[in-house]
Amino acid sequence: MAIKEGDKIPSATLMEITEAGPAPVSTSDLLAGKKVALFAVPGAFTPTCSAQHVPSYVNNAEALKSKGIDEIVCVSVNDAFVMGAWGKNLGAEGTVRMVGDGNGELTSALGLEMDGSKFGLGTRSQRYSMIVNDGVVEKLNVEEGGAYEVSSAEHMLGQL
């Protein structure tokens, strides 16, 4: 069953690149005591994700923060190295925290997996965004297959 508004984000361990190398980050540490704009993409370096989705959050970071967002987090079923390189490539460093869900642990716990095997991607995350306040989902925007509309930063700004 997929997560819904009002639910607490399940416990999962994600990975991110730090100056010291890859490091685990728990969802509780990532989300506790903050209002977070969390969004997920099917894959790093993929066309829509690179050309539109992440840039929408990079370009609207200040506007989101002015409306009460403490941190912006991008999650993908990719490893931390790929997420770090992708964030650097897109100029997201210091604006969007790029976190890898390499084993799909969070994606599965949220019930938001998709089968990307016809594209050679295997099991990935659906495209979505959510506003998470102290670990609880306030707003959830899950895209229909292949769409990119409700998970954008521009859509989220209208929800704050």
List active site positions.
49
Q: Find all residues with CB under 8 Å of 101, minimum gap 6, and list them.
A: 12, 14, 40, 75, 76, 77, 78, 107, 125
Identify residue 160 by its one-letter amino acid code: L
CA 36 – CA 72 distance, rounded (Å): 6
Report which of 51, 56, 57 is spatially closest to residue 89, judged by C-alpha positions.
Answer: 51
| Alpha-carbon separation of residue 90 from 45, 56, 116 (angstroms) | 9, 11, 23
